[in-house]
Amino acid sequence: MNLRKHELIGLQVEVVAATDPSQEHLRGRVVDETRNTLVLDIRGDEKRIPKEGSRFRFEVQGGFEIDGADIRFRPEDRVKKAR
């Protein structure tokens, strides 16, 4: 399954790489998504992570790792634009 086109909100995710060293290795649940960012809930704390320059690993069956730049679309556009 291509997660690029599917819903990311609600999934557990780990930030594998980020341009901001303080954001690396953060883990949490996606609670919101915009064109340029994902908002993670990290034990009650909301953190906004830019997609550009970050790499995410989503905790789904089999695991799914992706460059944030590849999903840099509005959430409703991702179905037709991301591939």
Partner 1 sequence: MVKRRHRGMERRIAGERMVTLFRLAESEALRRHPGRARRYVELARRIGMRYNVRVPAPFKRSFCKKCFAFLLPSVSARVRVGRGRIVVTCTACGAIQRFPYTREQRTRRASRTPTQ
Q: Minimum distance between the CB of residue 77 and partner 1, rounded to whole angstroms?
A: 7
Q: Select the span of 12-20, 26-34, 47-55, 65-73 touching partner 1 (CB under 8 A).
A: 26-34
Q: Minimum distance between the CB of residue 80 and partner 1, rounded to whole angstroms?
A: 6
CA distance 56 to 15: 5
Long-range contacts of 19-26 (CB under 8 A, 24+ apart): 19/50, 19/53, 19/54, 23/47, 23/49, 23/54
User: Which residues between 32 and 51 bind partner 1 (CB under 8 A)?
Assistant: 32-33
Q: Minimum distance between the CB of residue 13 and partner 1, rounded to whole angstroms?
A: 15
Q: Indicate the residue among 53 and 75 with the shorter CB distance to partner 1.
A: 75
55 binds partner 1 (CB under 8 A): no
Which residues are CB-neighbours of 22 under 8 A, at least 6 positions away?
none
